[in-house]
Amino acid sequence: MQRKLLAQIQHESGPNAAAVRRAATCDVFINHRGIDTKRTVVTLLYDQLARLRLRPFLDNKSMKPGDKLFDNINRAIRQCKVGVAVFSPRYCESYFCLHELALMMESRKKVIPIFCDVKPSELRVPPTVAWRQGMLYSEEEMRRFSLALEQAKYTVGLDFDSTKGYVGVSRLIRYWNTLME
């Protein structure tokens, strides 16, 4: 698969490159709770995927001032080939994380879970997520989030222990390289 993606990227450097790049926002969408993981596993993963000449999408690296948050993120999810969901202790408290995960699952993307300092059995939508800016989320939205979490829990993923730092990231990258061959 990596060779196929590299061939596609090389093809995209031709005369229609700009149009092709706009049509294919990213190869890998990285879903994460920034406060827990952006300074550790997520940035290292993004950098390694970029070194492999894949186009990862990471909000703070892929968007610029003035971009519409939901429009760009939703487009990237719909156009990506693979999603990576980095679950962390406070992941389920974030509406944005749960929305992105639900959209990946509903779009039938291949999703690779990374359980960073959290066990799959600990993932659940807390009641506090139901409130956003003083408004109650709909039952349908809460069902979407719960279903997406259940699907992710029962998908083979990777464990990441942040106390091991780069050693843990290296293990993830080795796995990713075998996946892309």
Helix (H, G, I), strand (E, B) or coil at 2: helix
pLDDT digits (tens, 9 = 90+) for 170-180: 666 676 666 66
Listed in sequence order, the residues at least 6 apart from 16 whose beta carbon sits closer than 8 Å to its beta carbon are none
CATH number, domain at 154?
Answer: 3.40.50.10140
Q: Helix, strand, coil shares of the chain as percentages rounded to 5?
A: 60, 15, 25
Please give the residue range of the domain that contains residue 172.
23-122+129-180
Q: Is the pLDDT of residue 9 over 80?
A: no
Q: Which amino acid is residue 2, in one-letter code?
A: Q
Q: How confident is the model at residue 143 (pLDDT cuts 50, 70, 90)?
A: very high
Q: Is residue 146 assigned to a domain?
A: yes
Among candidate residues 48, 125, 115, the one with its CA nearest the CA of residue 86 = 115
| pLDDT tens readout for residues 65-105 | 888 888 999 999 999 999 999 999 999 988 899 999 999 99
pLDDT at position 30 is 95
Residue 6 lies in a domain: no
**Is the separation of the CB atoms in 26 and 63 below 8 Å?**
no
pLDDT at residue 135, as a whole number = 54
Provide the 3-class DSSP secondary structure of residue 181: coil
The single residue of 12, 100, 141, 150 carrying the catalytic annotation is: 100
pTM summary value: 0.77
For residue 1, is pLDDT > 80?
A: no
Active site residue 141: no
Residue 3 in domain: no
Residue 145 lies in a domain: yes
Residue 9 included in any domain: no
Structure tokens, 131 = 């409130």
Looking at the domain assignment, is residue 2 inside a domain?
no
